[in-house]
Structure 1
Protein backbone atom coordinates (compact mmCIF):
# COMPACT_ATOMS: atom_id res chain seq x y z
CA UNK A 1 0.00 0.00 0.00
CA UNK A 2 1.39 3.37 -1.00
CA UNK A 3 1.89 5.94 1.71
CA UNK A 4 2.35 9.70 1.46
CA UNK A 5 4.73 9.77 4.41
CA UNK A 6 8.04 11.34 3.30
CA UNK A 7 10.85 9.97 5.46
CA UNK A 8 13.56 12.05 3.79
CA UNK A 9 11.58 15.27 4.25
CA UNK A 10 10.94 14.38 7.89
CA UNK A 11 14.68 13.95 8.49
CA UNK A 12 15.40 17.24 6.74
CA UNK A 13 12.73 18.91 8.86
CA UNK A 14 14.24 17.38 12.00
CA UNK A 15 17.67 18.85 11.19
CA UNK A 16 16.20 22.23 10.27
CA UNK A 17 14.14 22.43 13.46
CA UNK A 18 17.07 21.29 15.61
CA UNK A 19 18.68 24.68 14.95
CA UNK A 20 16.04 26.24 17.21
CA UNK A 21 16.57 23.91 20.17
CA UNK A 22 18.55 26.64 21.93
CA UNK A 23 15.39 28.79 22.12
CA UNK A 24 13.35 26.03 23.74
CA UNK A 25 16.09 25.13 26.20
CA UNK A 26 16.81 28.77 27.07
CA UNK A 27 13.11 29.37 27.76
CA UNK A 28 12.98 26.38 30.09
CA UNK A 29 16.29 26.93 31.87
CA UNK A 30 15.83 30.67 32.51
CA UNK A 31 12.22 30.11 33.59
CA UNK A 32 13.33 27.32 35.94
CA UNK A 33 15.98 29.48 37.61
CA UNK A 34 13.63 32.47 37.99
CA UNK A 35 10.75 30.27 39.09
CA UNK A 36 12.89 28.55 41.71
CA UNK A 37 14.04 31.93 43.02
CA UNK A 38 10.44 33.16 43.30
CA UNK A 39 9.38 29.88 44.93
CA UNK A 40 12.12 30.14 47.57
CA UNK A 41 10.99 33.69 48.36
CA UNK A 42 7.38 32.51 48.67
CA UNK A 43 8.41 29.66 50.96
CA UNK A 44 10.30 32.12 53.18
CA UNK A 45 7.28 34.44 53.27
CA UNK A 46 4.99 31.56 54.21
CA UNK A 47 7.39 30.09 56.77
CA UNK A 48 7.95 33.35 58.62
CA UNK A 49 4.34 34.55 58.12
CA UNK A 50 5.45 37.94 56.79
CA UNK A 51 2.66 40.44 57.33
CA UNK A 52 0.90 41.76 54.22
CA UNK A 53 3.11 39.63 51.94
CA UNK A 54 1.83 36.29 53.26
CA UNK A 55 -1.82 36.74 52.15
CA UNK A 56 -0.62 38.20 48.84
CA UNK A 57 1.58 35.16 48.26
CA UNK A 58 -1.39 32.85 48.91
CA UNK A 59 -3.47 34.68 46.30
CA UNK A 60 -0.51 34.54 43.88
CA UNK A 61 -0.13 30.77 44.31
CA UNK A 62 -3.87 30.18 44.02
CA UNK A 63 -4.15 32.27 40.84
CA UNK A 64 -1.23 30.68 38.98
CA UNK A 65 -2.23 27.17 40.01
CA UNK A 66 -5.90 27.74 39.23
CA UNK A 67 -5.76 29.31 35.76
CA UNK A 68 -4.49 27.92 32.43
CA UNK A 69 -0.91 28.80 31.50
CA UNK A 70 -2.02 29.95 28.04
CA UNK A 71 -4.42 32.48 29.59
CA UNK A 72 -1.63 33.73 31.86
CA UNK A 73 0.67 34.25 28.87
CA UNK A 74 -2.04 36.17 27.01
CA UNK A 75 -2.72 38.34 30.07
CA UNK A 76 1.00 39.17 30.39
CA UNK A 77 1.71 39.87 26.74
CA UNK A 78 -1.57 41.27 25.41
CA UNK A 79 -3.47 42.41 28.50
CA UNK A 80 -0.87 43.91 30.84
CA UNK A 81 0.39 46.59 28.39
CA UNK A 82 -3.19 47.93 28.12
CA UNK A 83 -3.42 48.68 31.85
CA UNK A 84 0.28 49.45 32.39
CA UNK A 85 1.80 51.16 29.29
CA UNK A 86 5.32 50.66 30.65
CA UNK A 87 5.05 46.99 29.64
CA UNK A 88 4.41 47.80 25.96
CA UNK A 89 8.13 47.44 25.28
CA UNK A 90 8.15 43.87 26.62
CA UNK A 91 8.86 41.44 23.78
CA UNK A 92 7.29 38.02 23.31
CA UNK A 93 10.37 36.11 24.49
CA UNK A 94 10.50 38.05 27.77
CA UNK A 95 6.75 37.67 28.30
CA UNK A 96 7.03 33.91 27.77
CA UNK A 97 9.84 33.64 30.33
CA UNK A 98 7.94 35.74 32.89
CA UNK A 99 4.76 33.70 32.40
CA UNK A 100 6.51 30.34 32.57
CA UNK A 101 8.52 31.41 35.63
CA UNK A 102 5.52 32.64 37.59
CA UNK A 103 3.45 29.59 36.72
CA UNK A 104 6.23 27.16 37.65
CA UNK A 105 6.99 28.97 40.92
CA UNK A 106 3.44 28.40 42.15
CA UNK A 107 3.94 24.65 41.81
CA UNK A 108 7.50 24.57 43.14
CA UNK A 109 6.43 26.25 46.38
CA UNK A 110 4.75 23.08 47.64
CA UNK A 111 7.67 20.95 46.46
CA UNK A 112 10.17 23.06 48.39
CA UNK A 113 7.94 23.38 51.44
CA UNK A 114 7.48 19.62 51.59
CA UNK A 115 11.19 18.97 51.10
CA UNK A 116 12.14 21.36 53.90
CA UNK A 117 9.52 19.84 56.19
CA UNK A 118 10.98 16.37 55.55
CA UNK A 119 14.26 17.36 57.24
CA UNK A 120 14.22 16.43 60.92
CA UNK A 121 13.69 19.48 63.14
CA UNK A 122 16.54 18.25 65.29
CA UNK A 123 18.93 19.23 62.51
CA UNK A 124 18.08 22.91 62.92
CA UNK A 125 18.08 22.63 66.71
CA UNK A 126 21.57 21.14 66.58
CA UNK A 127 22.74 23.95 64.29
CA UNK A 128 21.36 26.60 66.64
CA UNK A 129 22.91 24.88 69.64
CA UNK A 130 26.43 25.27 68.23
CA UNK A 131 25.97 29.00 67.60
CA UNK A 132 24.73 29.07 64.02
CA UNK A 133 22.11 31.64 63.09
CA UNK A 134 18.79 30.39 61.73
CA UNK A 135 19.78 31.52 58.23
CA UNK A 136 23.14 29.71 58.36
CA UNK A 137 21.42 26.61 59.68
CA UNK A 138 19.00 26.70 56.75
CA UNK A 139 21.76 27.38 54.23
CA UNK A 140 24.31 24.83 55.44
CA UNK A 141 22.22 22.11 57.07
CA UNK A 142 18.57 22.08 56.08
CA UNK A 143 18.54 23.21 52.43
CA UNK A 144 21.24 20.77 51.21
CA UNK A 145 19.23 17.87 52.68
CA UNK A 146 15.96 19.27 51.36
CA UNK A 147 17.48 19.64 47.88
CA UNK A 148 18.05 15.89 47.68
CA UNK A 149 14.36 15.27 48.44
CA UNK A 150 13.15 18.01 46.07
CA UNK A 151 15.21 17.06 43.00
CA UNK A 152 12.80 14.43 41.56
CA UNK A 153 9.82 16.81 41.75
CA UNK A 154 11.87 19.77 40.51
CA UNK A 155 13.06 17.60 37.63
CA UNK A 156 9.44 16.89 36.70
CA UNK A 157 8.70 20.61 36.87
CA UNK A 158 11.59 21.30 34.49
CA UNK A 159 10.28 18.69 32.05
CA UNK A 160 6.86 20.35 32.21
CA UNK A 161 8.54 23.70 31.49
CA UNK A 162 10.28 22.24 28.45
CA UNK A 163 6.96 21.05 27.08
CA UNK A 164 5.06 24.18 28.11
CA UNK A 165 7.63 26.33 26.32
CA UNK A 166 5.89 25.26 23.11
CA UNK A 167 3.08 27.67 24.08
CA UNK A 168 5.48 30.55 23.48
CA UNK A 169 4.63 30.27 19.77
CA UNK A 170 1.19 31.73 20.59
CA UNK A 171 2.98 34.97 21.50
CA UNK A 172 5.06 34.96 18.33
CA UNK A 173 8.27 33.38 19.65
CA UNK A 174 9.81 31.47 16.73
CA UNK A 175 10.77 28.36 18.69
CA UNK A 176 10.60 24.76 17.47
CA UNK A 177 6.83 24.39 17.28
CA UNK A 178 6.36 27.77 15.59
CA UNK A 179 8.95 26.86 12.96
CA UNK A 180 7.25 23.50 12.39
CA UNK A 181 3.88 25.16 11.93
CA UNK A 182 5.25 27.60 9.38
CA UNK A 183 6.98 24.80 7.51
CA UNK A 184 3.84 22.62 7.60
CA UNK A 185 1.68 25.46 6.33
CA UNK A 186 4.06 26.05 3.43
CA UNK A 187 4.54 22.41 2.39
CA UNK A 188 1.33 20.75 3.66
CA UNK A 189 3.51 18.05 5.20
CA UNK A 190 1.93 18.29 8.62
CA UNK A 191 2.67 14.79 9.88
CA UNK A 192 6.36 14.93 8.99
CA UNK A 193 6.89 18.33 10.61
CA UNK A 194 5.00 17.57 13.80
CA UNK A 195 6.64 14.14 14.11
CA UNK A 196 10.03 15.87 13.83
CA UNK A 197 8.97 18.25 16.63
CA UNK A 198 7.81 15.36 18.81
CA UNK A 199 11.10 13.51 18.32
CA UNK A 200 13.13 16.62 19.20
CA UNK A 201 11.19 17.20 22.43
CA UNK A 202 11.45 13.50 23.27
CA UNK A 203 15.24 13.48 22.84
CA UNK A 204 15.68 16.69 24.84
CA UNK A 205 13.65 15.28 27.72
CA UNK A 206 15.51 11.95 27.64
CA UNK A 207 18.77 13.92 27.88
CA UNK A 208 17.65 16.01 30.85
CA UNK A 209 16.09 12.98 32.59
CA UNK A 210 19.49 11.32 32.35
CA UNK A 211 21.14 14.36 33.94
CA UNK A 212 18.50 14.31 36.68
CA UNK A 213 19.22 10.64 37.51
CA UNK A 214 22.96 11.32 37.66
CA UNK A 215 22.35 14.26 39.99
CA UNK A 216 20.03 12.21 42.19
CA UNK A 217 22.57 9.40 42.48
CA UNK A 218 25.39 11.80 43.26
CA UNK A 219 23.46 13.68 45.93
CA UNK A 220 22.03 10.49 47.42
CA UNK A 221 25.39 8.70 47.54
CA UNK A 222 26.15 9.91 51.08
CA UNK A 223 22.82 8.53 52.29
Structure 2
Protein backbone atom coordinates (compact mmCIF):
# COMPACT_ATOMS: atom_id res chain seq x y z
CA UNK A 1 0.00 0.00 0.00
CA UNK A 2 1.55 3.28 -1.09
CA UNK A 3 1.45 6.47 0.94
CA UNK A 4 -0.56 9.48 -0.16
CA UNK A 5 1.37 12.05 -2.15
CA UNK A 6 0.66 15.00 0.13
CA UNK A 7 2.83 17.42 -1.83
CA UNK A 8 0.85 16.67 -4.97
CA UNK A 9 -2.43 17.12 -3.10
CA UNK A 10 -1.37 20.47 -1.62
CA UNK A 11 -0.22 21.67 -5.03
CA UNK A 12 -3.53 20.60 -6.55
CA UNK A 13 -5.64 22.67 -4.15
CA UNK A 14 -5.00 26.10 -5.77
CA UNK A 15 -5.43 24.56 -9.23
CA UNK A 16 -8.88 23.21 -8.41
CA UNK A 17 -9.89 26.31 -6.44
CA UNK A 18 -9.29 28.38 -9.59
CA UNK A 19 -12.28 26.56 -11.10
CA UNK A 20 -14.52 27.07 -8.04
CA UNK A 21 -15.91 30.40 -9.34
CA UNK A 22 -17.21 28.65 -12.48
CA UNK A 23 -18.82 25.94 -10.36
CA UNK A 24 -20.49 28.49 -8.07
CA UNK A 25 -21.53 30.68 -11.01
CA UNK A 26 -23.27 27.79 -12.78
CA UNK A 27 -25.02 26.81 -9.56
CA UNK A 28 -26.03 30.39 -8.68
CA UNK A 29 -27.40 31.19 -12.14
CA UNK A 30 -29.16 27.84 -12.30
CA UNK A 31 -30.64 28.48 -8.85
CA UNK A 32 -32.00 31.91 -9.76
CA UNK A 33 -33.56 30.65 -12.98
CA UNK A 34 -34.91 27.51 -11.31
CA UNK A 35 -36.41 29.57 -8.49
CA UNK A 36 -38.21 31.86 -10.93
CA UNK A 37 -39.49 28.98 -13.05
CA UNK A 38 -40.33 26.84 -10.03
CA UNK A 39 -42.35 29.68 -8.47
CA UNK A 40 -44.34 30.16 -11.67
CA UNK A 41 -45.00 26.43 -11.92
CA UNK A 42 -46.02 26.28 -8.26
CA UNK A 43 -48.48 29.15 -8.61
CA UNK A 44 -49.97 27.51 -11.69
CA UNK A 45 -50.35 24.22 -9.81
CA UNK A 46 -52.28 26.08 -7.12
CA UNK A 47 -54.62 28.06 -9.38
CA UNK A 48 -54.80 25.23 -11.99
CA UNK A 49 -55.22 27.00 -15.33
CA UNK A 50 -57.09 24.62 -17.67
CA UNK A 51 -54.95 22.83 -20.28
CA UNK A 52 -51.77 24.54 -19.03
CA UNK A 53 -51.99 22.56 -15.81
CA UNK A 54 -51.71 19.29 -17.77
CA UNK A 55 -48.47 20.43 -19.41
CA UNK A 56 -47.08 21.60 -16.05
CA UNK A 57 -47.86 18.23 -14.47
CA UNK A 58 -46.11 16.45 -17.34
CA UNK A 59 -43.10 18.79 -17.08
CA UNK A 60 -42.72 18.18 -13.35
CA UNK A 61 -43.22 14.45 -13.74
CA UNK A 62 -40.61 14.17 -16.51
CA UNK A 63 -37.87 16.20 -14.83
CA UNK A 64 -38.44 14.57 -11.45
CA UNK A 65 -38.67 11.11 -12.95
CA UNK A 66 -35.55 11.04 -15.13
CA UNK A 67 -31.86 11.25 -14.08
CA UNK A 68 -30.15 14.62 -14.32
CA UNK A 69 -27.31 13.09 -16.34
CA UNK A 70 -29.76 11.86 -18.96
CA UNK A 71 -31.30 15.32 -19.15
CA UNK A 72 -27.89 16.94 -19.62
CA UNK A 73 -27.07 14.55 -22.46
CA UNK A 74 -30.49 15.22 -23.97
CA UNK A 75 -29.86 18.98 -24.02
CA UNK A 76 -26.26 18.82 -25.20
CA UNK A 77 -26.21 15.87 -27.58
CA UNK A 78 -29.85 15.20 -28.42
CA UNK A 79 -31.70 18.47 -28.95
CA UNK A 80 -29.19 19.94 -31.45
CA UNK A 81 -30.04 17.05 -33.79
CA UNK A 82 -33.71 18.04 -33.63
CA UNK A 83 -33.48 21.83 -33.35
CA UNK A 84 -30.83 23.28 -35.66
CA UNK A 85 -30.47 26.56 -33.75
CA UNK A 86 -29.14 24.61 -30.74
CA UNK A 87 -26.12 23.27 -32.61
CA UNK A 88 -23.99 26.15 -31.26
CA UNK A 89 -24.90 25.49 -27.63
CA UNK A 90 -21.86 25.00 -25.41
CA UNK A 91 -21.41 22.72 -22.43
CA UNK A 92 -21.83 25.45 -19.81
CA UNK A 93 -25.13 26.63 -21.30
CA UNK A 94 -26.41 23.06 -21.61
CA UNK A 95 -25.44 22.36 -18.01
CA UNK A 96 -27.22 25.46 -16.73
CA UNK A 97 -30.33 24.59 -18.78
CA UNK A 98 -30.35 21.08 -17.38
CA UNK A 99 -29.83 22.22 -13.79
CA UNK A 100 -32.51 24.89 -14.14
CA UNK A 101 -35.23 22.63 -15.49
CA UNK A 102 -34.35 19.68 -13.26
CA UNK A 103 -34.39 21.63 -10.01
CA UNK A 104 -37.31 23.84 -11.04
CA UNK A 105 -39.47 20.71 -11.09
CA UNK A 106 -38.49 19.87 -7.52
CA UNK A 107 -38.77 23.47 -6.31
CA UNK A 108 -42.24 23.75 -7.84
CA UNK A 109 -43.57 21.00 -5.61
CA UNK A 110 -41.89 22.41 -2.50
CA UNK A 111 -43.15 25.93 -3.16
CA UNK A 112 -46.63 24.61 -4.00
CA UNK A 113 -46.75 22.77 -0.67
CA UNK A 114 -45.64 25.94 1.12
CA UNK A 115 -48.32 27.99 -0.65
CA UNK A 116 -51.05 25.49 0.17
CA UNK A 117 -49.82 25.47 3.77
CA UNK A 118 -50.64 29.17 4.24
CA UNK A 119 -53.66 29.40 6.52
CA UNK A 120 -56.91 29.73 4.56
CA UNK A 121 -57.96 32.66 6.74
CA UNK A 122 -55.15 34.66 5.09
CA UNK A 123 -56.61 33.93 1.66
CA UNK A 124 -60.12 34.80 2.80
CA UNK A 125 -58.99 38.04 4.46
CA UNK A 126 -57.24 39.13 1.25
CA UNK A 127 -60.31 38.33 -0.82
CA UNK A 128 -62.58 40.16 1.63
CA UNK A 129 -60.76 43.45 1.08
CA UNK A 130 -61.03 43.12 -2.70
CA UNK A 131 -57.56 41.90 -3.63
CA UNK A 132 -57.19 40.24 -7.00
CA UNK A 133 -55.69 36.77 -7.13
CA UNK A 134 -52.39 38.18 -8.37
CA UNK A 135 -52.25 40.78 -5.57
CA UNK A 136 -53.12 38.16 -2.98
CA UNK A 137 -50.33 35.88 -4.19
CA UNK A 138 -47.74 38.67 -4.36
CA UNK A 139 -48.55 40.49 -1.11
CA UNK A 140 -49.97 37.87 1.24
CA UNK A 141 -49.41 34.26 0.24
CA UNK A 142 -45.96 34.13 -1.36
CA UNK A 143 -44.14 36.08 1.42
CA UNK A 144 -45.48 33.64 4.02
CA UNK A 145 -44.80 30.63 1.82
CA UNK A 146 -41.22 31.84 1.27
CA UNK A 147 -40.45 31.51 5.00
CA UNK A 148 -41.60 27.90 4.99
CA UNK A 149 -39.87 26.97 1.73
CA UNK A 150 -36.56 28.80 2.34
CA UNK A 151 -34.69 25.97 4.16
CA UNK A 152 -35.71 23.46 1.49
CA UNK A 153 -34.63 25.83 -1.28
CA UNK A 154 -31.21 26.24 0.31
CA UNK A 155 -30.94 22.44 0.32
CA UNK A 156 -31.69 22.45 -3.40
CA UNK A 157 -28.93 25.01 -3.94
CA UNK A 158 -26.52 22.73 -2.09
CA UNK A 159 -27.61 19.81 -4.27
CA UNK A 160 -27.20 21.98 -7.34
CA UNK A 161 -23.61 22.83 -6.43
CA UNK A 162 -22.84 19.12 -6.13
CA UNK A 163 -24.68 18.40 -9.37
CA UNK A 164 -22.48 20.81 -11.32
CA UNK A 165 -19.85 18.07 -11.12
CA UNK A 166 -21.81 16.32 -13.90
CA UNK A 167 -20.99 19.19 -16.25
CA UNK A 168 -17.59 17.63 -16.95
CA UNK A 169 -19.42 14.94 -18.95
CA UNK A 170 -20.33 17.72 -21.39
CA UNK A 171 -16.71 18.83 -21.73
CA UNK A 172 -16.94 21.64 -19.16
CA UNK A 173 -13.74 22.13 -17.19
CA UNK A 174 -15.12 22.98 -13.78
CA UNK A 175 -13.71 21.54 -10.56
CA UNK A 176 -14.57 17.93 -11.32
CA UNK A 177 -13.40 18.27 -14.91
CA UNK A 178 -10.12 19.81 -13.76
CA UNK A 179 -9.62 17.02 -11.22
CA UNK A 180 -10.23 14.44 -13.94
CA UNK A 181 -7.63 16.05 -16.21
CA UNK A 182 -5.07 16.36 -13.42
CA UNK A 183 -5.60 12.74 -12.40
CA UNK A 184 -5.27 11.53 -16.00
CA UNK A 185 -1.95 13.34 -16.31
CA UNK A 186 -0.46 12.21 -13.00
CA UNK A 187 -2.19 8.83 -12.57
CA UNK A 188 -2.77 9.84 -8.95
CA UNK A 189 -6.52 9.37 -9.17
CA UNK A 190 -7.16 8.83 -5.48
CA UNK A 191 -5.34 11.99 -4.43
CA UNK A 192 -6.97 14.13 -7.13
CA UNK A 193 -10.50 12.98 -6.42
CA UNK A 194 -9.96 13.16 -2.67
CA UNK A 195 -8.92 16.81 -2.95
CA UNK A 196 -11.94 17.75 -5.05
CA UNK A 197 -14.22 15.83 -2.68
CA UNK A 198 -12.88 17.75 0.31
CA UNK A 199 -13.37 21.08 -1.49
CA UNK A 200 -17.00 20.22 -2.27
CA UNK A 201 -17.43 19.08 1.32
CA UNK A 202 -16.13 22.35 2.75
CA UNK A 203 -18.33 24.44 0.43
CA UNK A 204 -21.41 22.39 1.32
CA UNK A 205 -20.69 22.57 5.05
CA UNK A 206 -20.32 26.36 4.81
CA UNK A 207 -23.68 26.62 3.07
CA UNK A 208 -25.23 24.28 5.64
CA UNK A 209 -24.19 26.72 8.36
CA UNK A 210 -25.74 29.58 6.38
CA UNK A 211 -28.93 27.52 6.13
CA UNK A 212 -29.04 27.04 9.91
CA UNK A 213 -28.56 30.77 10.51
CA UNK A 214 -31.30 31.52 7.98
CA UNK A 215 -33.71 29.17 9.72
CA UNK A 216 -33.02 30.77 13.10
CA UNK A 217 -33.45 34.27 11.69
CA UNK A 218 -36.70 33.43 9.89
CA UNK A 219 -38.17 31.65 12.88
CA UNK A 220 -37.21 34.53 15.17
CA UNK A 221 -38.83 37.06 12.85
CA UNK A 222 -41.97 34.94 12.61
CA UNK A 223 -42.14 34.55 16.38
CA UNK A 224 -42.34 38.32 16.76
Please give the alpha-carbon distance, in whole angstroms, between the structure 2 residues aligned to 1:102 and 1:108. Answer: 10
What pairs with 1:138-177 in structure 2 (closer than 5 Å)?
138-177=137-176
User: 1:194: which partner in 2?
Assistant: 193
Provide the rounded CA distance (Å) in 2 between the counterparts of 1:21 and 1:128. Answer: 48
Once the two structures are superposed, the pairs formed by residues 10-25 of structure 1 within 5 Å of their partners are 10-25=9-24
Instruction: Verify: 1:107 aligned to 2:106, yes or no.
Output: yes
Q: Which runs of 5+ in 1 are unaligned?
A: none
Distance 2:182 2:173 in 1: 12
Residue matched to 2:183: 184
- Count of matched residue pairs: 222
Structure 2 counterpart of 1:122: 121
Q: Look up the match of 1:78.
A: 77
Match of 1:210 in 2: 209
| SS of residue matched to 1:50 | coil
CA RMSD of aligned residues (A): 1.3
Give the Cα separation in 2 of the matches to 1:164 and 1:179: 15
Q: Secondary structure at the match of 1:3?
A: coil
Return the alpha-carbon distance in structure 2 between the equivalents of residues 33 and 96 of structure 1: 14
- Cα deviation for residue 129 of structure 1 reads 2.2
d(CA) in 2 for partners of 1:96, 1:194: 21
In structure 2, stretches of 5+ residues that fail to align are none
Please say if 1:55 is aligned against 2:43.
Answer: no
Deviates more, 1:136-145 or 1:99-108: 136-145
Q: Distance in 2 between matches of 1:90 and 1:117?
A: 38
Structure 1 runs, 4 residues or longer, greater than 6 Å off: none
TM-score by length of 1: 0.95
TM-score between the two structures when normalised by the length of structure 2 = 0.95
